[in-house]
A and B are shown apart, each in its own frame.
Chain A
Amino acid sequence: MFNDRFEIYTLSIVFLGDFNPVIVQPFWLANKKLIGEREAEDIDIKLIHKDLVSFKADWFTLELNKARFEIRTSQQPYFEAIRDLTLGTFKFLKETPINGLGINHIFHIPFRDAEQNRQLGYSLVSLDKFSGFFRDPRVLNLQVVEQKRADGRTGNVSVALSPSTETTSKWGLAININDNFMLAPDQTGRESELVELLNSEWQNSLDRAKIIADGIWSTFAAE
């Protein structure tokens, strides 16, 4: 079971649009009851600037610049809470134009040794084709994209494999699945379309990420 394989599951929600970063501060969130007052007091503020706001709470990290909003956590009990915090924030900022949504799932999997790491590369890429001009070729990063989403929505799904620096093992793999949604041709981005989509597509995205990661891992494990 893939569920038993990954050590860390990081979930990140990204909006692309036109933001005013300096609004979204811990005490604004507390004032709107989106987080607790004590939580706001304990937040580690890294930077509050007109162009960039960055802070870290116990259960999430938030970074916002003029073009990009991102909230993330590696603590599974709080996945729904960061979704709610995002929905709540943009319910209050509903005039904000948003033209892209990414629900990003990163699974960090420890390997027991370098050989297992190498085998994964061999199972996914025909490295024999490189052997004519590379001695002992290896895979470092691999990215595959589904250009047109299977669910008919506008956007794409991509998966990137790379070495992980997060696992307890020296050898680790990060499977980064980006579930990207863009505006449909008839949408303006000024009517919270993608905020609503975050809510309606949430469970589908979680399920999709598990299926993709499980599929990649099964390919490897079957070799």
Chain B
Amino acid sequence: MKTVTEANKSSILELPVTKSLDGSNLINETVYQIISDQIVVVQSSNDSSKKDATVVNDGNWLDFDVPKQIGLFAPPAKKNYFNRSQKWIGHILRINEDNTFSAKLEDLNDLTTNEYAEFSLLEVSPDDHELLDVGSVFYWSVGYENKNGTVRKASVLKFQRLPIVDDAEIKRRIALIDDVVDNVDQLIKKISWE
């Protein structure tokens, strides 16, 4: 029987814990480790009455005693999530001189609804500035962000990043831009002054 010691342990990646209906923690923690340059998956337990666990190492089954885990692992990561969001997909129609851009928005919850809006360039992440162009696609969401337990209303703009790696994709993008330009033309024709 081969014993895995603390010295072998490194790079703990994941520590999901299954909670029982009475709120206490059960077994079924999965921990990835590198042991002698081999990645293994350890199924182990927080329950001190369950001392033995099994290591799967390239098909060889090894038994070892699980050391007490409490305190060995990093504390669970803070939960960050974003919910109750309203989402739109946007197509840039025009980039304006006053550091704004105009866009057509499709409501992702109701694809039959189109809206038009203007956004400040300040809302665009620095990484996404290179993607700003007429016809560019972005996702806009407003909702509630929970970051490390603090909840706040938030608006998120994320530009679409899809590579153009074939002719069919290039044609599809050109057709999309044509469609956007046509929509702008139609919109302009509808505008009249009384």
Residues of A within 8 A of B (CB): 3-4, 6-10, 32-39, 46-47, 49, 51-52, 54, 59, 63, 65, 74-78, 80-81, 84-85, 87-88, 91-92, 94, 114, 117-118, 121, 138-140, 162-166, 170-172
Contact = CB atoms under 8 A, between A and B. Distances in A.
28 contacts: A6-B83, A33-B161, A35-B161, A36-B126, A38-B126, A46-B11, A51-B39, A63-B13, A74-B80, A75-B80, A75-B81, A76-B82, A76-B141, A77-B87, A77-B158, A78-B156, A80-B87, A80-B89, A80-B158, A80-B160, A88-B163, A92-B163, A94-B165, A114-B21, A117-B21, A164-B19, A165-B16, A165-B18
Interface of B: 11, 13, 16-23, 32, 34, 39, 79-85, 87, 89, 125-128, 139, 141, 143, 145, 156, 158, 160-163, 165
B163 A80 contact: no
Nearest to A35: B161
A88 B39 contact: no
A163 B163 contact: no
- Of B89, B143, B158, B161, chain A has the most CB atoms within 10 Å of the CB of B161
A161 to B, nearest CB: 11
A132 B80 CA distance: 44
Contacts of A59: 158
Contacts of B80: 74-75
A52 B165 contact: no
B18 A77 contact: no
Contact of B81 (A8, A36, A80): A8
B139 A77 contact: yes
B127 A77 contact: no
A84 B34 CA distance: 31
A32 B163 contact: yes
Given A84-B160, A92-B163, A118-B21, A39 B39 contact: no
